[in-house]
């Protein structure tokens, strides 16, 4: 018997309301890179932290562990908006 696990529905993003929530960084997958990220819907704004978790988990489940030193959401594949300030002012993940 195969066990299936429910995939949580994507939360309603701020894009449906028109603006990113203050302080919350959002990202969306560029449509031309959709084939690289199974389980991530292209063109839909979602919290970047959730996208990052999805991308990392998907890579692990496919048996191809990601390089942890690389960005989980490369800016060539994803667009970003929101957050507390410019990207250069944001601390690195290991500094948080």
Strands, DSSP E only, in the chain?
Answer: 25-29, 46-47, 78-82
CB 82 within 8 A of CB 24: yes
DSSP bridge partners of 8: none
**How confident is the model at residue 57, as a pLDDT?**
87
Task: Indicate the SS3 state at residue 29.
Answer: strand
CB 50 within 8 A of CB 37: no
pTM for this prediction: 0.61
H-state helical runs in 2-67: 48-61
List the chain domain ranges: 23-83
- In angstroms, what CA-CA distances link 27 with 5, 70, 77? 25, 17, 10
Q: What are 67-94's pLDDT values in tens digits?
A: 766 788 999 999 999 986 555 455 555 5
Does residue 4 or residue 38 have the better pLDDT? 38
């Amino acid at each position: 018997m195969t066990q299936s696990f429910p995939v949580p529905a994507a939360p309603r993003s701020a894009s449906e309301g028109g603006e990113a929530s203050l302080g919350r960084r959002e990202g969306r997958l560029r449509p031309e890179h959709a084939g690289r990220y199974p389980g991530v819907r292209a063109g839909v704004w979602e919290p970047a932290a959730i996208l990052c978790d999805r991308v990392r988990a998907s890579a692990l489940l496919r048996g191809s562990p990601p390089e942890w030193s690389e960005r989980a959401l490369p800016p060539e594949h994803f667009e970003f908006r929101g957050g507390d300030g410019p990207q250069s002012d944001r601390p690195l993940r290991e500094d948080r």
